[in-house]
Amino acid sequence: MTDRQPTLGVGMVGYAFMGAVHSQAWRSAGRFFDLPLATAMTTLCGRDAAAARAAAERMGWSSVETDWKDLVKRDDVHLVDICTPGDTHAEIAIAALEAGKHVLCEKPLANTVAEAEAMVEAAVAAEQRGVHSMVGFNYRLVPAIALARKLVADGRLGTIRHVRAQYLQDWIVDPGFPLVWRLQKDKAGSGALGDIGAHVIDLAQYVAGSAITGVSGVTETFVTERPLPEASSGLSASGGGGTGPVTVDDAALFTARFKSGALGSFEATRFASGRKNAIRLEVNGSDGSLAFDFESMNELQFHDHTEDVETAGFRRILVTEPTHPYTEAWWPPGHGLGYEHTFIHEVVELVSAIGEGRPPAPSFADGLQVQQVLAAVERSAAAASCWERVRGAG
Protein backbone atom coordinates (compact mmCIF):
# COMPACT_ATOMS: atom_id res chain seq x y z
CA MET A 1 0.00 0.00 0.00
CA THR A 2 1.02 3.60 -0.53
CA ASP A 3 0.02 6.89 1.06
CA ARG A 4 -1.71 7.85 -2.21
CA GLN A 5 -4.32 5.11 -1.82
CA PRO A 6 -7.87 6.16 -1.02
CA THR A 7 -8.73 5.43 2.59
CA LEU A 8 -11.80 3.48 3.62
CA GLY A 9 -13.01 4.72 7.00
CA VAL A 10 -14.58 1.92 9.05
CA GLY A 11 -17.15 2.29 11.80
CA MET A 12 -17.92 -0.78 13.89
CA VAL A 13 -21.08 -1.30 15.96
CA GLY A 14 -20.54 -3.63 18.93
CA TYR A 15 -17.32 -4.46 20.76
CA ALA A 16 -17.71 -7.81 22.51
CA PHE A 17 -16.40 -11.16 21.21
CA MET A 18 -17.16 -10.52 17.54
CA GLY A 19 -16.03 -6.92 17.84
CA ALA A 20 -12.66 -8.06 19.15
CA VAL A 21 -11.97 -10.47 16.28
CA HIS A 22 -13.21 -8.00 13.69
CA SER A 23 -10.95 -5.34 15.20
CA GLN A 24 -7.93 -7.59 14.88
CA ALA A 25 -8.88 -8.24 11.26
CA TRP A 26 -9.09 -4.53 10.45
CA ARG A 27 -5.73 -3.94 12.19
CA SER A 28 -3.98 -6.76 10.34
CA ALA A 29 -5.36 -7.17 6.81
CA GLY A 30 -3.46 -4.35 5.18
CA ARG A 31 -0.22 -5.34 6.88
CA PHE A 32 -0.13 -8.78 5.26
CA PHE A 33 -2.12 -8.37 2.05
CA ASP A 34 -1.74 -5.86 -0.76
CA LEU A 35 -5.15 -4.19 -0.69
CA PRO A 36 -6.48 -1.73 -3.27
CA LEU A 37 -7.67 0.60 -0.48
CA ALA A 38 -6.13 1.65 2.79
CA THR A 39 -8.41 1.24 5.81
CA ALA A 40 -8.81 3.41 8.91
CA MET A 41 -10.42 2.21 12.14
CA THR A 42 -12.40 5.42 12.44
CA THR A 43 -14.95 4.85 15.17
CA LEU A 44 -16.40 2.25 17.51
CA CYS A 45 -20.00 2.33 18.70
CA GLY A 46 -21.38 1.04 21.97
CA ARG A 47 -24.18 2.14 24.29
CA ASP A 48 -21.95 2.43 27.37
CA ALA A 49 -19.63 5.37 26.66
CA ALA A 50 -17.00 4.44 29.22
CA ALA A 51 -16.88 0.79 28.20
CA ALA A 52 -16.81 1.74 24.52
CA ARG A 53 -13.91 4.16 25.10
CA ALA A 54 -11.97 1.47 26.93
CA ALA A 55 -12.64 -1.02 24.12
CA ALA A 56 -11.70 1.51 21.45
CA GLU A 57 -8.40 2.24 23.15
CA ARG A 58 -7.64 -1.44 23.65
CA MET A 59 -8.55 -2.50 20.11
CA GLY A 60 -7.24 0.47 18.13
CA TRP A 61 -10.27 2.60 17.19
CA SER A 62 -9.77 6.35 16.86
CA SER A 63 -13.05 7.59 18.32
CA VAL A 64 -16.29 6.48 19.96
CA GLU A 65 -20.01 6.90 19.32
CA THR A 66 -22.82 5.76 21.63
CA ASP A 67 -25.59 5.79 19.00
CA TRP A 68 -25.17 3.85 15.76
CA LYS A 69 -27.28 6.44 13.95
CA ASP A 70 -24.59 9.03 14.67
CA LEU A 71 -21.94 6.62 13.36
CA VAL A 72 -23.86 6.16 10.09
CA LYS A 73 -24.11 9.95 9.61
CA ARG A 74 -20.35 10.55 9.84
CA ASP A 75 -18.65 11.65 6.64
CA ASP A 76 -15.42 9.87 7.62
CA VAL A 77 -17.19 6.49 7.90
CA HIS A 78 -17.45 4.75 4.54
CA LEU A 79 -18.10 1.19 5.75
CA VAL A 80 -20.23 -0.01 8.67
CA ASP A 81 -19.24 -3.28 10.35
CA ILE A 82 -22.18 -4.75 12.32
CA CYS A 83 -21.16 -6.97 15.26
CA THR A 84 -24.39 -6.84 17.27
CA PRO A 85 -27.13 -9.38 18.10
CA GLY A 86 -29.37 -10.39 15.22
CA ASP A 87 -32.38 -8.31 16.29
CA THR A 88 -30.50 -5.12 15.32
CA HIS A 89 -28.93 -6.23 12.03
CA ALA A 90 -31.71 -5.20 9.65
CA GLU A 91 -32.25 -1.69 11.00
CA ILE A 92 -28.56 -0.81 11.09
CA ALA A 93 -27.67 -2.41 7.75
CA ILE A 94 -30.56 -0.86 5.81
CA ALA A 95 -29.90 2.60 7.25
CA ALA A 96 -26.19 2.32 6.44
CA LEU A 97 -26.79 1.16 2.86
CA GLU A 98 -29.32 3.93 2.27
CA ALA A 99 -26.74 6.42 3.58
CA GLY A 100 -24.25 5.19 0.97
CA LYS A 101 -22.08 3.13 3.35
CA HIS A 102 -20.68 -0.28 2.49
CA VAL A 103 -21.76 -2.91 5.03
CA LEU A 104 -20.22 -5.99 6.61
CA CYS A 105 -22.87 -7.77 8.71
CA GLU A 106 -22.30 -10.71 11.01
CA LYS A 107 -24.28 -13.89 10.51
CA PRO A 108 -27.00 -14.98 10.58
CA LEU A 109 -28.06 -12.09 8.36
CA ALA A 110 -31.19 -11.39 10.41
CA ASN A 111 -33.60 -13.00 12.86
CA THR A 112 -36.40 -13.53 10.33
CA VAL A 113 -36.81 -14.14 6.62
CA ALA A 114 -38.78 -10.89 6.29
CA GLU A 115 -35.91 -8.89 7.78
CA ALA A 116 -33.40 -10.65 5.54
CA GLU A 117 -35.53 -9.96 2.48
CA ALA A 118 -35.65 -6.27 3.35
CA MET A 119 -31.87 -6.26 3.76
CA VAL A 120 -31.38 -7.88 0.36
CA GLU A 121 -33.72 -5.36 -1.25
CA ALA A 122 -31.65 -2.53 0.25
CA ALA A 123 -28.42 -4.24 -0.81
CA VAL A 124 -29.57 -4.65 -4.42
CA ALA A 125 -30.56 -0.97 -4.61
CA ALA A 126 -27.25 0.07 -3.04
CA GLU A 127 -25.22 -2.13 -5.40
CA GLN A 128 -26.62 -0.16 -8.31
CA ARG A 129 -25.03 2.93 -6.74
CA GLY A 130 -21.68 1.21 -6.22
CA VAL A 131 -22.31 0.50 -2.52
CA HIS A 132 -21.39 -3.06 -1.53
CA SER A 133 -22.45 -5.46 1.22
CA MET A 134 -21.23 -8.76 2.60
CA VAL A 135 -22.43 -11.23 5.26
CA GLY A 136 -19.83 -12.63 7.65
CA PHE A 137 -19.66 -16.37 7.00
CA ASN A 138 -16.01 -16.36 7.98
CA TYR A 139 -15.45 -20.14 7.78
CA ARG A 140 -15.60 -19.96 3.99
CA LEU A 141 -12.23 -18.21 4.30
CA VAL A 142 -10.42 -21.12 5.99
CA PRO A 143 -7.75 -22.11 3.44
CA ALA A 144 -8.71 -25.80 3.70
CA ILE A 145 -12.37 -24.97 3.00
CA ALA A 146 -11.41 -22.78 0.05
CA LEU A 147 -9.32 -25.68 -1.27
CA ALA A 148 -12.25 -28.06 -0.76
CA ARG A 149 -14.47 -25.78 -2.83
CA LYS A 150 -11.82 -25.71 -5.58
CA LEU A 151 -11.57 -29.51 -5.66
CA VAL A 152 -15.35 -29.82 -6.08
CA ALA A 153 -15.49 -27.04 -8.69
CA ASP A 154 -12.66 -28.68 -10.62
CA GLY A 155 -14.64 -31.93 -10.77
CA ARG A 156 -12.24 -33.93 -8.59
CA LEU A 157 -15.15 -35.48 -6.67
CA GLY A 158 -17.35 -36.12 -9.70
CA THR A 159 -21.09 -36.04 -9.06
CA ILE A 160 -21.85 -35.10 -5.44
CA ARG A 161 -24.02 -37.67 -3.68
CA HIS A 162 -23.81 -36.94 0.05
CA VAL A 163 -23.03 -33.97 2.29
CA ARG A 164 -22.64 -34.38 6.07
CA ALA A 165 -22.23 -31.32 8.24
CA GLN A 166 -21.94 -30.85 12.01
CA TYR A 167 -21.21 -27.94 14.30
CA LEU A 168 -20.55 -29.26 17.81
CA GLN A 169 -19.91 -27.14 20.92
CA ASP A 170 -20.32 -27.70 24.66
CA TRP A 171 -20.34 -24.21 26.15
CA ILE A 172 -23.79 -24.41 27.78
CA VAL A 173 -23.77 -28.02 29.01
CA ASP A 174 -23.70 -26.62 32.58
CA PRO A 175 -27.31 -25.77 33.56
CA GLY A 176 -25.88 -23.01 35.75
CA PHE A 177 -24.64 -21.09 32.72
CA PRO A 178 -26.50 -17.75 32.71
CA LEU A 179 -29.31 -16.63 30.43
CA VAL A 180 -27.23 -14.54 28.02
CA TRP A 181 -28.71 -12.87 24.93
CA ARG A 182 -27.83 -15.82 22.68
CA LEU A 183 -30.40 -17.88 24.62
CA GLN A 184 -33.25 -15.40 24.07
CA LYS A 185 -35.26 -15.65 20.87
CA ASP A 186 -36.20 -11.96 20.70
CA LYS A 187 -32.50 -11.06 20.48
CA ALA A 188 -30.88 -14.09 18.83
CA GLY A 189 -33.67 -15.32 16.55
CA SER A 190 -32.87 -18.95 17.26
CA GLY A 191 -30.35 -20.94 19.24
CA ALA A 192 -27.85 -23.51 17.99
CA LEU A 193 -29.76 -23.67 14.70
CA GLY A 194 -29.19 -20.04 13.70
CA ASP A 195 -26.04 -19.24 15.62
CA ILE A 196 -23.86 -22.17 14.57
CA GLY A 197 -26.10 -24.17 12.24
CA ALA A 198 -26.12 -21.21 9.86
CA HIS A 199 -22.37 -21.66 9.41
CA VAL A 200 -22.50 -25.30 8.35
CA ILE A 201 -25.52 -24.68 6.12
CA ASP A 202 -23.52 -22.03 4.29
CA LEU A 203 -20.36 -24.18 4.19
CA ALA A 204 -22.22 -27.21 2.84
CA GLN A 205 -23.88 -25.24 0.07
CA TYR A 206 -20.68 -23.34 -0.74
CA VAL A 207 -18.42 -26.39 -0.96
CA ALA A 208 -21.00 -28.56 -2.74
CA GLY A 209 -21.86 -25.74 -5.13
CA SER A 210 -25.59 -26.36 -4.77
CA ALA A 211 -28.48 -24.94 -2.74
CA ILE A 212 -30.67 -26.83 -0.27
CA THR A 213 -34.24 -27.15 -1.56
CA GLY A 214 -35.99 -29.11 1.21
CA VAL A 215 -35.50 -30.22 4.82
CA SER A 216 -36.94 -32.35 7.60
CA GLY A 217 -35.79 -31.44 11.09
CA VAL A 218 -36.11 -31.61 14.85
CA THR A 219 -35.01 -29.16 17.55
CA GLU A 220 -34.73 -29.53 21.30
CA THR A 221 -34.15 -27.33 24.35
CA PHE A 222 -32.55 -29.46 27.05
CA VAL A 223 -32.29 -26.79 29.77
CA THR A 224 -35.45 -24.68 29.75
CA GLU A 225 -34.63 -22.31 32.65
CA ARG A 226 -31.32 -20.62 33.37
CA PRO A 227 -30.04 -18.19 36.01
CA LEU A 228 -30.39 -14.51 35.20
CA PRO A 229 -27.02 -12.72 35.04
CA GLU A 230 -26.17 -11.07 38.34
CA ALA A 231 -25.63 -7.69 36.68
CA SER A 232 -26.30 -6.06 33.37
CA SER A 233 -23.22 -6.32 31.15
CA GLY A 234 -22.97 -5.08 27.56
CA LEU A 235 -25.65 -6.75 25.46
CA SER A 236 -26.41 -9.55 27.96
CA ALA A 237 -29.71 -9.82 29.74
CA SER A 238 -30.05 -7.55 32.76
CA GLY A 239 -31.19 -8.40 36.23
CA GLY A 240 -29.91 -10.41 39.16
CA GLY A 241 -31.15 -13.46 41.03
CA GLY A 242 -33.78 -15.91 39.93
CA THR A 243 -34.09 -17.66 36.61
CA GLY A 244 -35.60 -16.98 33.22
CA PRO A 245 -36.86 -19.13 30.35
CA VAL A 246 -34.59 -20.26 27.54
CA THR A 247 -36.57 -19.43 24.40
CA VAL A 248 -34.30 -20.92 21.74
CA ASP A 249 -33.18 -24.41 20.75
CA ASP A 250 -30.14 -26.06 22.31
CA ALA A 251 -29.75 -28.50 19.43
CA ALA A 252 -31.06 -29.00 15.91
CA LEU A 253 -30.82 -31.92 13.49
CA PHE A 254 -32.18 -32.15 9.96
CA THR A 255 -31.91 -34.01 6.71
CA ALA A 256 -31.83 -32.12 3.43
CA ARG A 257 -32.02 -32.46 -0.31
CA PHE A 258 -29.85 -30.29 -2.55
CA LYS A 259 -30.86 -28.86 -5.92
CA SER A 260 -28.19 -31.09 -7.51
CA GLY A 261 -29.93 -34.19 -6.15
CA ALA A 262 -27.41 -34.78 -3.36
CA LEU A 263 -28.63 -35.74 0.12
CA GLY A 264 -27.48 -33.98 3.27
CA SER A 265 -27.52 -34.46 7.03
CA PHE A 266 -26.93 -31.62 9.48
CA GLU A 267 -26.41 -31.30 13.23
CA ALA A 268 -25.89 -28.20 15.36
CA THR A 269 -25.61 -28.47 19.12
CA ARG A 270 -24.15 -26.69 22.13
CA PHE A 271 -24.42 -29.86 24.23
CA ALA A 272 -21.69 -32.05 22.70
CA SER A 273 -19.56 -32.50 25.81
CA GLY A 274 -15.88 -32.20 24.99
CA ARG A 275 -16.38 -30.62 21.56
CA LYS A 276 -15.24 -27.01 21.65
CA ASN A 277 -15.63 -25.87 18.06
CA ALA A 278 -15.91 -28.98 15.93
CA ILE A 279 -17.11 -27.90 12.50
CA ARG A 280 -17.17 -31.09 10.46
CA LEU A 281 -17.91 -31.38 6.78
CA GLU A 282 -17.74 -34.48 4.59
CA VAL A 283 -18.65 -34.55 0.92
CA ASN A 284 -18.90 -37.82 -1.03
CA GLY A 285 -18.94 -37.90 -4.82
CA SER A 286 -18.79 -40.47 -7.58
CA ASP A 287 -15.03 -39.90 -8.05
CA GLY A 288 -13.88 -39.02 -4.56
CA SER A 289 -14.53 -37.57 -1.12
CA LEU A 290 -13.24 -34.88 1.18
CA ALA A 291 -13.51 -34.32 4.92
CA PHE A 292 -12.75 -31.35 7.18
CA ASP A 293 -12.82 -30.64 10.93
CA PHE A 294 -12.18 -27.11 12.18
CA GLU A 295 -10.47 -28.46 15.29
CA SER A 296 -7.73 -29.44 12.80
CA MET A 297 -8.33 -26.41 10.63
CA ASN A 298 -5.08 -26.52 8.65
CA GLU A 299 -5.83 -30.00 7.31
CA LEU A 300 -8.09 -31.41 4.60
CA GLN A 301 -8.72 -35.12 4.11
CA PHE A 302 -9.07 -36.09 0.43
CA HIS A 303 -9.80 -39.41 -1.27
CA ASP A 304 -9.42 -39.92 -5.02
CA HIS A 305 -11.71 -42.83 -5.89
CA THR A 306 -10.23 -43.10 -9.40
CA GLU A 307 -6.89 -44.33 -8.04
CA ASP A 308 -5.91 -47.98 -7.89
CA VAL A 309 -7.90 -49.60 -5.07
CA GLU A 310 -4.74 -51.26 -3.75
CA THR A 311 -3.27 -47.94 -2.63
CA ALA A 312 -6.26 -45.58 -2.66
CA GLY A 313 -7.59 -44.05 0.54
CA PHE A 314 -8.01 -40.80 2.39
CA ARG A 315 -4.86 -38.74 2.56
CA ARG A 316 -4.06 -35.77 4.77
CA ILE A 317 -3.33 -32.51 2.98
CA LEU A 318 -1.58 -29.93 5.14
CA VAL A 319 -3.05 -26.75 3.70
CA THR A 320 -0.14 -24.38 4.35
CA GLU A 321 1.66 -24.26 1.01
CA PRO A 322 1.99 -20.86 -0.70
CA THR A 323 -0.08 -22.22 -3.60
CA HIS A 324 -3.05 -22.83 -1.28
CA PRO A 325 -5.76 -20.15 -0.90
CA TYR A 326 -4.67 -17.14 1.21
CA THR A 327 -1.56 -18.83 2.63
CA GLU A 328 1.06 -17.10 0.50
CA ALA A 329 0.65 -13.93 2.59
CA TRP A 330 1.41 -15.74 5.84
CA TRP A 331 4.03 -18.08 7.26
CA PRO A 332 6.32 -20.79 5.80
CA PRO A 333 4.74 -24.19 5.02
CA GLY A 334 3.78 -26.12 8.14
CA HIS A 335 3.24 -23.00 10.24
CA GLY A 336 -0.51 -23.14 10.72
CA LEU A 337 -3.12 -20.39 10.78
CA GLY A 338 -5.84 -19.86 13.40
CA TYR A 339 -9.44 -18.76 13.88
CA GLU A 340 -8.59 -15.05 13.69
CA HIS A 341 -7.13 -15.41 10.19
CA THR A 342 -10.57 -16.23 8.75
CA PHE A 343 -11.74 -12.74 9.66
CA ILE A 344 -8.62 -11.17 8.17
CA HIS A 345 -9.36 -13.02 4.92
CA GLU A 346 -12.95 -11.75 5.17
CA VAL A 347 -11.70 -8.16 5.31
CA VAL A 348 -9.35 -8.86 2.40
CA GLU A 349 -12.21 -10.18 0.26
CA LEU A 350 -14.47 -7.25 1.12
CA VAL A 351 -11.93 -4.46 0.66
CA SER A 352 -10.64 -6.04 -2.57
CA ALA A 353 -14.18 -6.21 -3.96
CA ILE A 354 -14.89 -2.59 -3.01
CA GLY A 355 -11.62 -1.43 -4.52
CA GLU A 356 -12.25 -3.37 -7.73
CA GLY A 357 -15.89 -2.31 -7.98
CA ARG A 358 -17.36 -5.82 -7.91
CA PRO A 359 -19.92 -7.47 -5.60
CA PRO A 360 -18.27 -9.28 -2.68
CA ALA A 361 -19.17 -12.80 -1.54
CA PRO A 362 -20.85 -14.11 0.48
CA SER A 363 -23.58 -11.61 -0.36
CA PHE A 364 -26.71 -10.61 1.51
CA ALA A 365 -28.55 -12.83 -0.99
CA ASP A 366 -26.44 -15.75 0.24
CA GLY A 367 -27.40 -14.80 3.79
CA LEU A 368 -31.08 -14.75 2.86
CA GLN A 369 -30.82 -18.20 1.30
CA VAL A 370 -29.39 -19.57 4.56
CA GLN A 371 -32.18 -17.76 6.45
CA GLN A 372 -34.72 -19.54 4.24
CA VAL A 373 -33.19 -22.90 5.19
CA LEU A 374 -33.26 -22.00 8.90
CA ALA A 375 -36.92 -21.03 8.63
CA ALA A 376 -37.76 -24.28 6.83
CA VAL A 377 -36.07 -26.32 9.58
CA GLU A 378 -38.06 -24.44 12.23
CA ARG A 379 -41.32 -25.04 10.34
CA SER A 380 -40.51 -28.72 9.97
CA ALA A 381 -39.62 -29.13 13.64
CA ALA A 382 -42.86 -27.43 14.66
CA ALA A 383 -44.81 -29.78 12.40
CA ALA A 384 -43.41 -33.07 13.75
CA SER A 385 -40.53 -33.24 11.25
CA CYS A 386 -42.71 -32.89 8.16
CA TRP A 387 -40.83 -32.29 4.92
CA GLU A 388 -40.55 -28.54 4.22
CA ARG A 389 -39.64 -26.93 0.95
CA VAL A 390 -37.05 -24.15 1.24
CA ARG A 391 -38.87 -21.14 -0.11
CA GLY A 392 -37.05 -19.24 -2.79
CA ALA A 393 -34.69 -22.16 -3.52
CA GLY A 394 -36.37 -23.09 -6.80
In the three-class reduction of DSSP (H, G, I as helix; E, B as strand; rest coil), residue 20 is classed as helix
Pairwise CA distance, residues 289 & 266, whole Å: 17
Predicted pLDDT of residue 244: 96
Half-sphere exposure of 13 (CA within 13 A, CB side): 27
The 10 Å Cβ neighbour count of residue 23 is 24
Predicted pLDDT of residue 241: 73
Could you tell me if 367 and 116 are in contact, meaning their C-beta atoms sit under 8 angstroms apart? yes
Does pTM top 0.85 for this prediction? Answer: yes
CATH class of the domain defined by 140-337+362-388: alpha beta
Residue 127 burial (C-beta neighbours within 10 Å; 0-12, 13-18, 19+): middle
Residues of the chain with CATH 3.40.50.720: 7-138
Q: What are the per-10-residue average pLDDT scores of the chain (394 residues)? A: 73 97 98 97 97 98 98 98 97 98 97 97 98 98 98 98 98 96 94 97 98 98 94 40 94 98 98 98 98 98 96 96 98 98 98 98 98 98 95 80
Pairwise CA distance, residues 197 & 214, whole Å: 16
Residues of the chain with CATH 3.30.360.10: 140-337+362-388
Predicted pLDDT of residue 393: 80
Candidates 225, 206, 379; CA nearest to 281 is: 206
Predicted pLDDT of residue 230: 72
Give the pairing type, strands 278-285 and 263-269: unpaired
Predicted pLDDT of residue 47: 96
The CATH number of the structural domain formed by 7-138 is: 3.40.50.720
Could you tell me if 96 and 80 are in contact, meaning their C-beta atoms sit under 8 angstroms apart? yes
Pairwise CA distance, residues 114 & 110, whole Å: 9
Predicted pLDDT of residue 195: 96
Predicted pLDDT of residue 231: 38
